[in-house]
Structure formats: structure tokens, C-alpha cells
Amino acid sequence: MPDKSLQPGRDAHSRPGRLTGRLDDALQSRVNEVAERRFAEYDRRLADIDSRLKRQRRDLDKVSREAATGASLLQRLIPQLEALEVRFSQQQSGSGPVTGTTEEVAEARSVVEEVRREHDRVRARLSGVAWYEDRLRKLEEQVEAVTSRLSEERPHG
């Protein structure tokens, strides 16, 4: 009958059993260290992404409010612009030379100049509204891209 004390792994106090246990412990310790470092890095990255997402949502909320204000302004300006365009068109298609006293002609020219200036201001405001709408669209696209990336990166399970 062979000596059981010389068979590897049979006796808890045998040399091969202790070596295997120490190797298992060392390997498990190393795996735990690597896993903890990776989890810490994932936590840091997730916190960074979360922070950026919150910041972008705040920016988007601000731009949304500004766009709503711009849209409201636009709704008030459209009728005014239409009225000015009608008046301007009537002034341009007038029936011949302007007649009247010198003061009336000067006042008419003043009104025409005022209408032109207001027309220019309205155009500038409308281009500002268009800029805000474009900016809002771009921010919405960025938020959508970030949220879709987050949902792809988020561990499932």
C-alpha cells in the first residue's frame, strides 16, 4: 500500500496542498486588486459622464427657456412685421409724387424712414430667433447622443 502522506493534495498539511492554497490566495488577491481598480475607474467615468449630462441638461433648459422667449417675441413681431410690410409696400407703390405741404412731406419721409428702421430691427430679431432655434436643435442632438452613449455604456444586469 502506497504512503498516503506523499500523495499531492491528500493531506491538508502536505507541501503541495499548502503551495496550491498560497497560489490560489495570491491569484485571488491579484484578481481582486485589478477588479477594484477597474470598478473605481468605471465609477469615476460614470460620475464624470453624469456630471456632464447634468451640465448639458441645465444648458438645454436655459436654451429652451430662451427659445420659448424668442418664439413668444416672434409671435408678437410677425403681425407687426406684416403691417409694416403692407405700409412699406403702399409707400413704394404710391400713385405718383407725394404732394402736400413741406411739413407733411417731411413727416411722410420720417415715417418711411422709421418703418425702414423698424423693418431692419425686426429682421435682426428674427435672425436672432433663428440662431437660438439652431442652437437649441444642436444641443438637443448632443443630449441625445450622450444619453444614447450612456445607455450603451451602462452595465446591464
3-state SS, residue 142:
helix
Q: Which three-class secondary structure state does DSSP give residue 157?
A: coil
Answer for the pair 53, 147: CB distance below 8 angstroms, yes or no.
yes
DSSP 59-124: HHHHHHHHHHHHHHHHHHHHHHHHHHHHHHHHHHT-SSS--S-HHHHHHHHHHHHHHHHHHHHHHH
- Taking only the tens of pLDDT, the chain with its 157 residues reads 454 444 444 444 555 667 788 888 899 999 999 999 999 999 999 999 999 999 998 988 888 888 888 888 888 888 888 888 888 777 777 655 667 788 888 888 888 888 888 888 888 888 888 888 888 888 888 888 888 887 777 665 4
Interatomic CA distance for residues 108 and 102, integer angstroms: 10
The answer to whether residues 49 and 152 touch, using CB atoms and an 8 Å cutoff, is: no
What pTM value is reported for the model? 0.39
Q: Per the structure block, which three cell numbers stand in for 150?
A: 450612456
